[in-house]
Each structure stands twice: as structure tokens, then as C-alpha cells.
Amino acid sequence: MPAREFAIGFDADDTLWRNEDLFATMHARFGALLARYHDAATVERELLATELRNLGPYGYGVKSFTLSAIETAIHLSARQISADEIQHLLDLGRAMLDHPVELLDGAAETLAALSAAGAHRLLLITKGDLRDQQSKLARSGLAAHFHHVEILADKHGPAYADLLRRHAILPENFLMVGNSLKSDILPVLALGGAGAHVPYHLLWAHERTAETPRAADRFFELKSLRDLPAVVAEWGAATQKKINRSRKP
Amino acid sequence: MPAREFAIGFDADDTLWRNEDLFATMHARFGALLARYHDAATVERELLATELRNLGPYGYGVKSFTLSAIETAIHLSARQISADEIQHLLDLGRAMLDHPVELLDGAAETLAALSAAGAHRLLLITKGDLRDQQSKLARSGLAAHFHHVEILADKHGPAYADLLRRHAILPENFLMVGNSLKSDILPVLALGGAGAHVPYHLLWAHERTAETPRAADRFFELKSLRDLPAVVAEWGAATQKKINRSRKP
């Protein structure tokens, strides 16, 4: 079986570059703007509830967040919020889109090493807003390492299954790397693929899950992306062993 | 050369289903909302200018339009617009996302016929907002006819070249069908592909172009999608003739 049939998928936000910090900062500024109407906990709870309620029609990303923030501000201020304050929310959203891309520790070196080794197809698999994700990838300096870029509306089992089918990748030859057990790891393990979880210090409430991965030989917990090449080697050896075993009479 | 190597790409908005009518309605309602501040022509000009200025950071689609409408309303009202009126703009945006998908004449029949014939790979190639376009496709009832769905951040030459490369389609075996000369036809003709232009009665100012297609044997002007099967047959015969000619010593 040629080595090129093995593929590694990378999540982007909070796996390759910072993202949730920006949203956390925006939530704090939003709380400050609404402080004369409600306490911080109420504002935070209402904003999150609006974001989740709007995921269906709006999807993920900064534009959706900005629209949800405006809606929440109008609601929590009993329609007293001023045009100036709404303009401030628009400006905050624009600042998020324009914010420099800050790579996480080890992202550039690890991708460069795996790309130079050439043993795996490297895919960027992210969700959210097309324009914003493409812009961040372009500014990240990492684009040249990826054979394919997939920006999905959502990252669930059927979306991964469809993606692997389109790229003619067998699930057992696929390793997904990401910070979200819910979006990056569990759906891939369920398909028979492998997952490398690199936690980030912040996780959006919507990405939390009580489920724990149950696939001892296909699930890897990493402290940093710098540990990934060793995990890839371990996974490759284990997969090769399984292939050899299945070929025995 | 097997027939399956030929592919037909379809634009979606205003090619398969109505879209610009909705934006036109929204522009009219926006004008009515701002009528006490400025005349209709000024409001229309400012809204379009804001939309175009924001295409870079926001990209295409309803969420981008809604954010631009709010920004324009704040600006044109000298920050006097009320929270109630901003909420009205949010509601108009949501109504656009929730609006039923209205297929254009001949779309369902033509796609069903081409899909049943099985002689071409059928691709949906649209731009704009991931979530909204996927939702419209799901509600259109047309999804099963397409082998692949590509939602691009923009439809220009490099985006088409990348798409054809990823799908291993030669430009000369590719026909793109759409209502926008600028986004659907001219970039594909420039790559050496074919284009079938089906004009729609409305065209967004940003999609207008003074350039006219110059590729007599690869450009087709259609009155309705119902004319497409005949054009596909003509294009197929012409392409086959070229292939045969190129094989002669």
C-alpha cells in the first residue's frame, strides 16, 4: 500500500492559530457595553443563547457573531441601545476579521516537517466563514503545506464521511488533528479513523462534550503540535501492523 | 476519450433559483426605512457603495448584506437610527435566509434530463455564504443531480482553474452555465472552457461588465435553461470534432 494513501487532516482555529482568545475578548467588551443594563453573567448567558439559537440560520464565524451581538444588545437594552453603540459592535466585528493571524507554538515547524517528509497528504479541514477562513489561511503562511483545503458548514460524521469519500481516503488511513473532541476527534473515531487531540486553554461552550474517546489504539492526546510527528510515526506503524495482519491467510 | 470526462458546471443564484429579486425587495424596504433622512437615489447609492467596500472583509451573501445595511443606516441617519429600526433590518435579513427557494423555469426538468442521461459530471458552482447556499440547495430538491458541490469565496479565473485541477477536468471538456457573464462565463472562456449564458431579468450592479465573450464556438447564449440540452449536444459534437482533428497525423 503506497504511503501517499495516508492523510492527515488539521483543524485550524485554536489548533494552528489563536481564535477563541479573540472571541473571549469580544465577549468581555460586549459585557462592558451592556453593563449599565444587566450584570455580566446575564449578558454572557444571553449572548451565548443567541449565538446558539442563530447557528442554524447563520452558521459559524465572525459575521454571525456580530449579528448575534447586535440582536442581543437590542434585546437586553429593551431597545434603548444607541446607534453609536451598535456601530461600536460593528467595529469590534471588523477588528476580529482584521486581527493578525497568530500561529500556535509548533504549528509552522510541524507542518513544514510533515510536508517535507511527503509521506502523507495534508488537508486543512475547518468550519465557519469561507471568506474569513481563506483570508486567515492566506495570512498564516501555512497554505503551501496543504494539498487540499476544506471549509465545511459543520464538522459532524456525515461531513467527514463525504469528505473522505470525495478524496478517496479510507477512514483507517486518516488521522485528524484538532483541539475539539466534539468536532475534530469523536466523529472521525466513529468512522474508524484516528484522532490526535491537542487541547487549547480556551474552548467555546458549544464545543464542550461529556463524551470521552474510546479507541485506545487510534486516539492520541498531545500536549503540543510538536509531539505530532512522533504520534504520526506510532499511528503509521500500528496501521501497517493491522494491514499486515489482515493479509495473513 | 470516455464521455464521463465531460463536465457541466451550474451557477445557482438566478440561474437555478431566484435570488436577486429578494435583494431588490430588500433594497426597496431599506430605502423606505431611510426615506426620512435621504432621497431614494442617495440611499441606494450609499448602500451599494457600502456593500462593495465590505466585499473584501465580509464576502458575499445575506449576512454580509445585513451588516452593510446596518452600517449604512447608522451612517445615513447621522447615528439617529433607532434600535427598533436596526432590529427591523435584522428581521429583513433573517426573512431573506428563511425565504422559500423558488426554482427558475426549466431548472428541475433540465437537470433531471442531464442527470438521467449520465453523459456528464454535473457540478454546482456557486459563491457566497456556505450555510445559506447549502440550505438553499437542500431545500431546492436538486441536490441529488450533482456529483459535486463547490461553494467558492469568489468566482474568478484562479478559482475555476483550481477547481478544474482538483476535479481532474480539462478546461476544454468543461461547460459552465450561469446568468453572470462576469462570474460564470468570461473566466471559464479565458481558461479554454465553454460557457452557456442564461440571462436573468435582474443583475446586481457588481456583476455588470462591458466585456463581451469572444469565443464563437465555445460561447452560447440561451433564452432559458430549457435550451441547454440542445446546446450541450452542439458543444459535445464540436469538442469531439476538435479531438478527432488533433489526432490526425
Best B54, B63, B85, B135 member to test A by mutation, with max A CBs in 10 Å, is B63
Q: Give B158's contacts in chain A (Cβ within 8 Å).
A: none
A175 shares its domain with A111: yes
Q: Give this complex's ipTM.
A: 0.89
Last residue of a domain, one of A98, A119, A143: A98
pLDDT band at residue B248 using 50, 70 and 90 as cut-offs: low
Distance from CA of A59 to the nearest CA of B (A): 6
The pLDDT of residue A219? 95
Could you list the pLDDT tens digit for every one of the 249 residues in chain A?
343 479 999 999 999 999 999 999 999 999 999 999 999 999 999 999 999 999 999 999 999 999 999 999 999 999 999 999 999 999 999 999 999 999 999 999 999 999 999 889 999 999 988 889 999 999 999 999 999 999 988 899 999 999 999 899 999 999 999 999 999 999 999 999 999 999 988 878 788 888 888 877 899 999 999 999 999 999 988 887 877 877 765
Give residue-wise pLDDT tens across range B122-165.
999 999 888 899 999 999 999 999 999 999 888 999 999 999 99
Give residue-wise pLDDT tens across range A100-116.
999 999 999 999 999 99
At residue A233, the 3 state secondary structure works out as: helix
Residue B83 CA, chain-centre distance (Å), reads 33
Domain residue limits at A81:
20-98
B209 shares its domain with B135: yes
B138 shares its domain with B165: yes
Last residue of a domain, one of B72, B98, B124: B98
* Sequence-separated contacts (24+) of A111-119 with Cβ below 8 Å: A111/A10, A111/A16, A111/A142, A111/A145, A112/A145, A113/A229, A114/A8, A114/A145, A114/A228, A114/A229, A114/A232, A115/A144, A115/A145, A119/A3, A119/A4, A119/A6, A119/A236
Residue of chain B nearest A128, judged by CA positions = B130
B112 shares its domain with B216: yes
A124 shares its domain with A45: no
pLDDT band at residue B88 using 50, 70 and 90 as cut-offs: very high
Last residue of a domain, one of A98, A133, A156: A98
Residue of chain A nearest B73, judged by CA positions = A83
CB-hemisphere CA count at 13 Å for B244? Answer: 6
Short-list B122, B90, B91, B92, CA closest to B107: B122
B161 shares its domain with B93: no
CB contact under 8 A, B59 and A84: no
B8 shares its domain with B24: no
Average pLDDT, chain B: 92
Partnered with residue A125 across adjacent β-strands are: A150
- Please give the helix or strand (H or E) that residue B157 lies within, else none: helix B157-166
The pLDDT of residue B63? 96
A68: Cβ contacts below 8 Å, ≥ 6 apart: A47, A50, A51, A54, A58
For residue B10, what is the domain's CATH number? 3.40.50.1000
Partnered with residue B227 across adjacent β-strands are: none
Q: Which residue has the cell 503562511?
A: A141
Q: What is the DSSP string of B195-209?
A: EEE---S---GGG--
